[in-house]
Amino acid sequence: MADATGVNLETELLSGRLNLNDLTSAIERCKNCSGPTACEAWLKQSQPNHEETPPGYCRNSAMLQVQRALGYLSSG
């Protein structure tokens, strides 16, 4: 989902904009998703780094949007 929404998690970690605890929590939220089939279908139609907004049911939607915004702010 991060790739599809234009978020490079490695870059975010290395920059300090994302900490390891938050990434671990995001991974756990993803692993416990109640809609993996819908997520898989969404990801198949998305293009990597297309910077789409994650679907509303994504448990990491808010985190991904924040990380993308923080990345823009630091690069601009």
pLDDT in tens, 22-51: 999 999 999 999 889 999 999 898 877 666
Mind listing the pLDDT tens digit for each residue in 57-76?
Answer: 999 999 999 999 988 777 65
Q: How many CB atoms lie within 10 A of CB 12?
A: 22
Q: How many domains does the chain have?
A: 1
Residue spans of alpha helices (H) in 16-59 = 20-31, 36-45
Contact 4, 46 (CB under 8 A): yes
Q: Is residue 3 part of a domain?
A: no
For residue 74, give the 3-state DSSP assignment.
helix
pLDDT band at residue 16 using 50, 70 and 90 as cut-offs: very high
Q: Show the tokens assigned to 61.
A: 């939607």
Q: Is residue 62 part of a domain?
A: yes
pLDDT of residue 35: 86
Q: Is residue 2 part of a domain?
A: no
Q: Is residue 39 part of a domain?
A: yes
Q: Alpha-carbon distance 18 to 63, whole Å?
A: 10
The domain of 42 spans 9-75
